[in-house]
Amino acid sequence: LAKTTQPISMDSYEGQEVNITCSHNNIATNDYITWYQQFPSQGPRFIIQGYKTKVTNEVASLFIPADRKSSTLSLPRVSLSDTAVYYCLVGREGRRALTFGSGTRLQVQP
């Protein structure tokens, strides 16, 4: 499984755009990049998944450069409710579950 590296923590203010970058230098050809969000006292929640270029949904955007050795989760105009831990997972979706790292703790302040 590809190893991922992401910042331990980030701080932001309401209304700002937040970009969380994840490094995955040994990503394999068939690997996808998946992000989960976890609020305190809750289980993780799927945010977005991508393979290459850009993916956008109602919650976030995921930017993946051509070499796929990193990816950036972009959260537009964050609010206090976006304070959470964000996990980057890399692997081939299939019978075996992906591995969670320690995640990035995002703190949004007013």
Partner 1 sequence: EAGVAQSPRYKIIEKRQSVAFWCNPISGHATLYWYQQILGQGPKLLIQFQNNGVVDDSQLPKDRFSAERLKGVDSTLKIQPAKLEDSAVYLCASSLGTGGDAPYEQYFGPGTRLTVT
Residue number with CB closer to partner 1 (16 or 30):
30
Residue number with CB closer to partner 1 (75 or 88):
88
Residue number with CB closer to partner 1 (2 or 36):
36
Residue 94 beta carbon to partner 1: minimum distance, rounded to whole angstroms: 7
Q: What's the CA gap between 16 and 89, in Å, rounded?
A: 25
Nearest to 23 by CA among 71, 95, 83: 71
| Residues binding partner 1 (CB under 8 A) | 36, 41-46, 49, 85, 87, 93-97, 99-103
Residue 96 beta carbon to partner 1: minimum distance, rounded to whole angstroms: 6
Classify residue 109 as exposed, middle or buried by CB count within 10 Å of its CB (0-12, 13-18, 19+). exposed
